[in-house]
Chain A
Amino acid sequence: MESVWRFLKSKQGITIIGFLVLVILVVVFYSISPNQTQAVLNSMIRHSTPLILGALCGVMCERSGIINIGIEGHMLLGAFMGYMVNVWTGSLVLAVAASMLTGSLMGLLLAYMSIKLKLDQVIGGTVINILALGLTGYFYTVGLTTSGKIMTFPLGPLADIPLIGPVLFNNGFITYAAIVLVFVLHFFLYRTPWGLRTRAIGEHPEAADTLGINVIRMRYMNVLIGGAIAGLAGGFLTLESVGSFERAMTNGRGFIALAVMIFGNWSPIGAWGAALLFGFATAMQTQLQFMGIDIPHQFVGMLPYVLTIVVVAGLVGRTHPPAAEGKVFEKE
């Protein structure tokens, strides 16, 4: 009994309860107003996709001990390069590849700055953010056209399930990829030697080092992969969601992704839950306006940030950031 109570009070517990409450609310709302509910949920998924991809990048980097506040920059450059390749070649496959490659190049830069140059990692991330803003703004030209964007494709009969079908199983490729990645990464992080070692180098790199794990190589690799995922988040914006590029179009999503990662306690599935919650909050902002409900949408909009502050301050539950984050690892 006490363990149940403890679980309920824990962060996972709260997340699960919150999730259940949401599900019940959704069902209730669906029975009252099916169209509106579906619109909100669709918009939730759409808003949560770049957030979860960005957060997965954060998880990859921070679990290996590298703070990444440059997610915004990875995303923006990924979005831009994906878009440009789409303009030049008309190939969406190449475009997606380009956005991921760009993201991982930025990841390489971050890793180089924090591991080799031993820069303060927060500054390194800031360099990437400003650089991305500048480069994309500089090279962006107005009036380009593309041959199209990634279309949604329903997943056979699954898409016909009422409510869930259109929400989960009628999306574009990157949205599916994001959901798959959540589970794949979660699995890898907790069920494979790579995951065990990754978590070890983020917590106690010296211990990992004495056991023959190449801390530096692993950090480089993980930050590269993380960068690619954040690049994909950018690709989602220009190739699947909006279909075109605008200056500074990520609009702070990289920082919400950071909040998502923290709120999800540095775990992929936790982050997914947080991303859905934050996506839901965003979806509700617009919906509330339609419904003429008099809660200023900005209050819903600031919820994610306030919640994140509450969580990092340890006022509710406790987060466990990787212990070696932000610290320079030096081999003897």
Chain B
Amino acid sequence: MASEPETKKTDFWRALWRSIGVPLGAIVLALLIGAVILLISGANPLLAYSALFQGAFGGASQISRTLEKATPLIFNGLAISLAFKAGMFNIGAQGQLVFGAIIAAFIGFAVKGLPWFVHAPLALICGAIAGALYGSIPGMLKAFTGASEVITTIMLNYVALNMTDWLVGGPWQDKTTEILLPRTPEILETARLDQGRLITSGLIFVILSLYLALMVYLFVKSHKKIRMAGKTTREFFTANLGSLLVALIPVILVGLYLLDLLQVGFLIAVGGAFFIWWLLERTTLGFEIRTVGANSNAARYAGINVALIMILTMVISGLLAGLGGAVETTGVDGRFEPAFNVGLGFDGITISLLGKTHPLGNIPAAILIGSMKAGSNTMQFEAGVPKEIVDVVQALMLFFVAADMIVRYVLRIKGKEEKVSLTSGWGQH
């Protein structure tokens, strides 16, 4: 009889293993193959990986840099994950991100005379809206003409690239320096995200207190219910371990923020992930999005406006990507430069799949990829290993997480997952 909570516990670990086993296995396999490549090319994998780790997590500034790198990745992963939920493949989140970034930069340098607490949010909001509008184009094309979003978003990526290229070389060029570079002027101090740290800290403190109070309230409430159902407190804890851990994340984050380890942009990204999670799991709109993705015929039967949901999903997806770009501009770069984060869209695909398209799963996945990006320079410097090995490892991760049957075979993970069909050919239907 006493073993009952025990089995509960193993059940929990088994469920956890079943849900994160494949991504973990994919990461390990990718790192192993990466090590083989390093060995073949005459490098010491242990040295390389430890330098990579040092460069990513070796100290406060490294961690801060990792989280900074992870910020736009979270947004990108979220944008792609959300689209996946509605059965669409937003492979061109990059374009939406770039648009968000440049519009945020424009608001940042062109609008003058605003106090920071208006200016910075305004830049973010405009960037997000730019991304949303850009995302709505493939959404509408898909809903009304059936044009595959895979093609249209790829093409729109390059349209965005050319468009921003023109803007930074023409109307929005920085003309303050001697040598004209293709980039926008620096944004005003008031538009920068790390402004008013004291006040934001205070604000965050208030929000955090409210959050904790809410958590305690919810905890007591559901605990009472559990007790009435005749279960012990211990059972309650083991059964809700996952949600308790998740509830702790914001507390940890705010701590890190107050310790100056991360930017407010990262907080916004994590907030975004929680918001999307809430949207998908707890709202009727989220239910509609998921139903369209899971079975569009049943969605139609249920009275859901499938075309509208497709467009709306792409709008939100674009909004997330655009917000990611805006955060990067206003929080890190301080201006828009054309070589801006090329390839983020593809990173987003890896992250989304590593996170199993779960909004919260995107956070650790983005931190992982972000840490590889942040640590790669140290690795190159200290171990003499070209930093592009992290791209190879990332490609392998994507491969293994997508080809989950290999990982399942290697790790003996039981349970067949329902394969999500992400695309269905392209062109008209």
Contact = CB atoms under 8 A, between A and B. Distances in A.
Q: Do A and B bind each other?
A: yes
Contact of A123 (B165, B387, B402): B402
| Most B Cβ at <10 Å: residue of A67, A118, A302 | A302
Given A120-B422, A130-B391, A298 B162 contact: yes
A290 interface: no
A318 interface: yes
The interface size bin for chain A is 35 or more
A133 B391 contact: yes
A94 to B, nearest CB: 22
Contacts of A69: 91, 150, 154
A117 B165 CA distance: 40
Contacts of A296: 166, 169-170
A131 B393 CA distance: 8
Nearest to B422: A120
A217 B158 CA distance: 35
B141 A130 contact: no
B399 interface: yes
Interface in B371-406: 386-396, 398-399, 402-403, 405-406
Contacts of A327: 424-425
B421 interface: yes
Contacts of A137: 386-388, 391
A189 to B, nearest CB: 18
Nearest to A134: B391
| Most B Cβ at <10 Å: residue of A128, A136, A308, A312 | A312
A244 interface: no
Contacts of B169: 296, 298
Contacts of A252: 158, 161
B425 A117 contact: no
A139 to B, nearest CB: 7
A8 interface: no
Contacts of A322: 425
B106 interface: no
B133 to A, nearest CB: 15
B427 A320 contact: yes
A120 B421 contact: yes
A119 B422 CA distance: 10
Interface in B414-429: 419, 421-428
Contacts of B134: none
A300 to B, nearest CB: 9
A308 B165 CA distance: 20
B73 interface: no
A123 B353 contact: yes
A321 B403 contact: no
Interface stretch (A37-45, A171-179, A254-262): A254-262
Interface in B138-187: 141, 145-148, 150-152, 154-159, 161-163, 165-166, 169-170
B353 A258 contact: no
B58 interface: no
A86 to B, nearest CB: 20
A129 B346 contact: yes
Interface in A115-169: 117-124, 126-131, 133-140
Interface string A97-123: 000000000000000010001111111
A301 interface: yes
Nearest to A129: B346
Contacts of A131: 391-392, 395-396, 399
Contacts of B391: 130-131, 133-134, 137-138
B349 interface: yes
A318 B147 CA distance: 11
A302 B158 contact: yes
Given A134-B388, A134-B394, A313-B147, A302 B402 contact: no
A315 B427 contact: no
Interface string A320-332: 1111111100000
A309 B155 contact: yes
Contacts of B423: 67, 120-122, 326
Contacts of B161: 252
| Most B Cβ at <10 Å: residue of A140, A306, A309, A323 | A309
B243 interface: no
B159 A314 contact: no
Contacts of A122: 89, 91, 150, 422-423
B427 A312 contact: yes
Contacts of A309: 141, 147, 151-152, 155-156, 159
Contacts of B145: 313-315
A305 interface: yes
Interface string A193-210: 000000000000000000
Given A134-B391, A296-B166, A313-B147, A255 B426 contact: no
Given A296-B170, A306-B159, A327-B425, A262 B386 contact: no
B427 A302 contact: no
Nearest to A119: B402
Interface in A55-74: 67, 69
B395 A312 contact: no
A253 to B, nearest CB: 11
B403 A117 contact: yes
Contacts of A325: 425-426
A319 B166 CA distance: 30
Contacts of B158: 252, 255-256, 302, 305
A249 to B, nearest CB: 13
A117 B426 contact: no
Nearest to B166: A298
Interface of B: 37, 41, 89, 91, 141, 145-148, 150-152, 154-159, 161-163, 165-166, 169-170, 343, 346, 349-350, 353, 386-396, 398-399, 402-403, 405-406, 419, 421-428
Q: 6 smallest A-B Cβ distances: which pairs?
A: A134-B391, A137-B388, A134-B392, A321-B427, A131-B395, A130-B395
Given A140-B386, A258-B154, A326-B424, 7 more contacts: A117-B406, A138-B388, A296-B169, A309-B156, A312-B152, A312-B427, A319-B427
Interface of A: 67, 69, 113, 117-124, 126-131, 133-140, 247, 252, 255-256, 258-259, 262, 296, 298-299, 301-302, 305-306, 308-309, 312-315, 318-327
29 contacts: A120-B421, A122-B422, A127-B399, A130-B391, A131-B392, A131-B395, A133-B391, A134-B388, A134-B389, A134-B390, A134-B392, A137-B388, A138-B41, A138-B389, A138-B391, A138-B392, A140-B388, A255-B154, A256-B158, A296-B169, A305-B155, A305-B156, A305-B158, A312-B147, A312-B426, A313-B152, A320-B427, A324-B425, A327-B424
